[in-house]
Structure 1
Amino acid sequence: EGRRIVSALIQQVTYREFLPIVLGDSIMQEFHLYPHDTPTSIPTYQPTTDPSIANAFATAAYRFGHTLVSDVLRGSGDKRVPLSGNFMDPHVLVEDGSKPSDLLLGLASSPSQAADSYLVLTLSNKLFAKPEEPVGLDLMSLNIQRGRDHGLPAYTVWRRACGLSDITSFPGLAAVMNTQAAHTLSTVYRNVNDVDLFPAGLSERSVSGGLLGPTFSCLLAQQFSNIKEGDRFWYQNSEQPKPFTADQLGSLTRMSLASLMCHHLNLSSLQPNPFLAASVPGNEPQPCSSYPTLDLNQWKEVTDPHPSEMRCTGVGIWQILPGMQTWCSLNCLNHFPPFCPPSHCQCYLAS
């Protein structure tokens, strides 16, 4: 049950707080990504929807976050942790000022890099390099090569797949991205139909209210829609084997990343949406005491003072078959959907 609660909280935070910032309200509405606001669970599962992770999503589109990474991580107080030289080194996580709780608070209180086609020097020239090594790997190159290794079609193919305007020449790139990015791509590729998805997707002008361009927004929105609709155990789905009650859902939907961080990191105050800077109007820090906590009383099991239970046995000639009572009990009472043929089993309430 604890795992179900944690999964529900992850879904709640991802779809209600994180994705609207990345995709913008218009795309969230178009793909029906917002969790519903009704107090009870509703049918959400689409059995024909494939929730598995798409190649383009995993290999290119969802790696947009690499452009947001800064060279220096902020800890508590004056603690600053340079990304360079600390790859694969967990010792920093046990030092004062840079424990996981300190770094999480630092991430919430410091701005990210811009969402564009550029990576900081640590990622583009010193990735995984040891302190004594002058250069390391290039994450942009790795991402491009990974896309080729995975057989990703070119950027122009994905624009067509998303129903966007077709790009047939390099001058056409300037209509969907800044002139400098379009020119740079034209000097690297011989044909516009050879342009890789990752660098071109990052270079697009962002959609209204979102961080990404239309191609990456399309790929992300479709993937997260598939994850939501194709998950029989989605936290708001009423057709799962054991859906949350209305009171349990009410407690879950009141939770936010701010409330989770406040009560698990022993903070005194935090902005309502830690994914946004505290300087954003309406996102000023609030006392942690103002954020709700998860009401676990809604999951408390109530013991019946007069317990009764269903029992199942075999019917007719099946009644004497060894193990039939166990077989009927398992399939009639504990199988979803129930498999309880009346020709084989009968169930009754035992006091």
Structure 2
Amino acid sequence: METSCQILKIRNLTNKEGLLNVNKKFQDNGREFLPFVAEVPSPCAQDPLDNNGERTDCFLAGDSRSSEVLSLTTLHTIWLREHNRIAKALKKINNHWSAETVYQETRKIIGALHQIITLRDYVPKIIGSDAFDHYIGKYKAYNPLLDPTVSNVFSTAAFRFGHATVPPVLKRLDNMFEEKQNYSSVRLHEAFFSPWRLIKEGGLDPVIRGILVQPANVIDQDNLMTDELTEKLFVFNATGTFDLASLNLQRGRDHGLPGYNDWREFCGLHRLNTEGDLSTAISNANLIKKLLEIYKHPSNIDVWLGGLVEDILPRGRTGPLFACLIGKQMHALRDGDRFWWENEGIFTESQRSELAKHSLSRVMCDNSGVNEVPGDSFLLSQYPKDFISCDIISSMNLNVWKESNVQGMFHKR
């Protein structure tokens, strides 16, 4: 969550269009990069072949981790561009709006798009459709009695299941979705805190194409995480490399998380007290033996590890425990938020209809040089058979935000 101080750093307060700051030094084939941080020299890696001593500092965004890996930086950047694209369009539609009004209305739209893309397109594929229906279901109304606070177990353990899905290589592909001759794919550790690679090695488009066709790792009970994360993780202000799995386990203990069985009971799942009990949730007998050798009893197992190694649910990417913890959290985030995009009075009916047309694929089309995308960018796709032209990807019509069409929705500015 950005603080007011961070917001002032990332906003462009010198224009009348409610824009976010962009990089003043470099462009990506005519499109914007994120701005650099003000505190220089920053700790981001530098091009080892640059003999001119020209620095490429860390990028600045609302999240301090935006330069952590190229794929994450790419997503931050396309959302920066999306904000500025929408803001400019809204200013043209409502030329009398102040910069502050444009900024706030654009921010409201961007927030809604994140809500839609996360709950509609992403979460059902993570926890499976059955768990989604059970824990989340269809939206009915805002529930003021529901606490939308992000829980300790969700942020510290359950949502970190994704660390086991990270592939060891970051693909970069040309416009034929083939390996680039000039800027080939890189090992993950070579992409940590290396914004120079985006600026000097082809920009966002090759990374976006790689994201669209590269599968996430399937969680493997025999080999949970790539050694790019367990042997070569780079952390600022520290010497050497780190093990992300160890950090996750230690973080859970630092946060005082109860053990695996306590969370299973919380979710209405059976406690697993014996080797035989564990075999009902984990099919890998060798893994069960290792767990019992280390932890002695299932109740001692750290919740992050226990949830991670459960057998995956049908049409999902997690086991029952993480499906529950993620599902409950997402339900609370949606129904406990009075500003949820579907709640009455937040947007008009016509605006909600237009917002629902948008997708991450559309955002990529509008803010990059990629002109062919999958209809659903969260599904594993093969090029060219699963790709369609950006010309036929649905997009929202911002004219429904014209003030004369939105009676009573806007307050005095």
TM-score bracket, normalised by the shorter chain, equals: 0.7 to 0.9
Q: Secondary structure at the match of 1:265?
A: coil
Which one has the largest radius of gyration?
Answer: 1
Deviation at residue 105 of structure 1 after TM alignment:
2.4
8 Å CA contact 1:57, 1:219 repeated in 2: yes
Of the three residues 276, 281, 284, the one matched with 2:386 is 284
Structure 1 pair 236–52 and aligned structure 2 pair: CA distance change class (3 A): same
**Whole-angstrom distance in 2 between the partners of 1:194 and 1:152:** 11
- Look up the equivalent residue of 1:230 and give its one-letter code: G
2:136 aligned residue: 32
Query: Which amino acid is 2:108 matched to?
Result: R
Q: C-alpha separation between the residues in 1 aligned to 2:201 and 2:246? A: 35
Counterparts of 1:152 and 1:87, CA distance in 2: 29
CA distance in 1, matches of 2:262, 2:402: 53
Which moved further from structure 2: 210-219 or 255-264? Answer: 255-264
> What corresponds to 2:92 in structure 1?
none
Q: 2:403 aligns with which of 274, 294, 301?
A: 301
| CA-CA distance at 1:114 after TM superposition | 1.0
Distance 1:194 1:234 in 2: 38
Secondary structure class of the residue paired with 2:154: helix
Aligned CA-pair RMSD? 2.3
Q: Does residue 273 in structure 1 map to residue 383 in structure 2? A: no
**What secondary structure, in the 3-state scheme, does the structure 2 residue paired with 1:67 have?**
helix
Q: Which residue of 2 aligns with 1:319?
A: none
Which position in structure 1 is the counterpart of 2:279? 174
Q: What does residue 298 of structure 2 align with?
A: 192
- Structure 2: 5+ residue stretches without partners: 1-104, 175-179
Whole-angstrom distance in 1 between the partners of 2:207 and 2:192: 15
Which amino acid in the other structure matches residue 165 of structure 1?
Answer: H
| CA deviation profile, 1:188-213 (whole Å, cap 9, x unmatched) | 11222111111111100011211100
Letter in 2 for 1:251: E
* CA shift for structure 1 position 217: 0.4
Q: Distance in 1 between matches of 2:278 and 2:371?
A: 48
CA distance in 2, matches of 1:224, 1:142: 25
Map of 1:7-46 to 2, 5 A cutoff?
Answer: 7-34=111-138, 44-46=141-143
For 2:320, the aligned partner's letter is: P
Amino acid at match of 2:169: V
Q: For residues 71 and 251 of structure 1, do their structure 2 counterparts lie closer, same or farther at Cα, with a shift above 3 Å needed?
A: same
Within a 5 Å distance, the mapping from 1:199-278 to structure 2 comes to 199-238=305-344, 242-278=345-381
- Moved beyond 4 Å, runs of 4+: none
Counterpart check, 1:138 vs 2:138 = no
* 2:260 equivalent in structure 1: 155
Distance in 1 of aligned mates of 2:370 and 2:137 = 31
Contact 2:278 / 2:288 at 8 angstroms: preserved in 1?
Answer: yes
Once residues 387 and 121 of structure 2 are traced to their aligned partners in structure 1, the CA distance between those partners, rounded to angstroms, is 16
Closer, same or farther: CA 73–47 of 1 in aligned 2, 3 Å: same
Q: Do the aligned partners of residues 303 and 285 (structure 1) sit closer, same or farther apart at CA in structure 2, a change above 3 Å counting?
A: closer
8 Å Cα contact 2:365/2:373 also seen in 1: yes
| Shift of residue 75, structure 1, vs aligned partner | 1.4
Output the CA distance in 1 between the equivalents of 2:106 and 2:120. Answer: 21
* Contact 1:109/1:277 (<8 A) preserved: yes
Partner of 1:3: 107
* Separation (CA, whole Å) in 2 of partners of 1:274 and 1:180: 36
Structure 1 CA distance for aligned equivalents of residues 206 and 201 of structure 2: 9
TM-score by length of 1: 0.78
- The equivalent residue for 1:120 is 226
Matched residue, 1:164: 269
Partners in 1 of 2:309 and 2:110 — Cα distance? Answer: 35
1:27 Cα shift? Answer: 1.3
- What SS does structure 2 have at the residue aligned with 1:9? helix
Task: Tell me if the contact between 1:159 and 1:215 (Cα under 8 Å) persists in the aligned partners.
Answer: yes
2:242 & 2:301 partners in 1: Cα distance?
Answer: 22
Query: Partner amino acid for 1:115?
Result: I
46-55 or 105-114, which moves further after superposition?
105-114
Looking at structure 2, the residues matched to 258 and 303 of structure 1 have their Cα atoms a distance apart, in angstroms, of: 28
SS across alignment from 1:108: helix
- Cα deviation for residue 129 of structure 1 reads 7.3
TM-score when normalising by structure 2 = 0.66
Find out whether 1:53 has 2:150 as its counterpart.
yes
1:88 offset after TM fit, Å? 2.3
Question: Alpha-carbon deviation of 1:26?
Answer: 0.9
Task: Give, in angstroms, the shift of residue 171 of structure 1.
Answer: 3.3
Q: Partners of 1:114 and 1:91 in 2: how far apart?
A: 30
The 8 Å contact of residues 262 and 288 in structure 1, kept in 2 or not, is answered as: yes
The answer (yes or no) to whether the contact 2:205–2:370 under 8 Å persists in 1 is no
Query: Could you tell me which residue of structure 2 aligns to residue 87 of structure 1?
Result: 192
SS at match of 2:189: coil
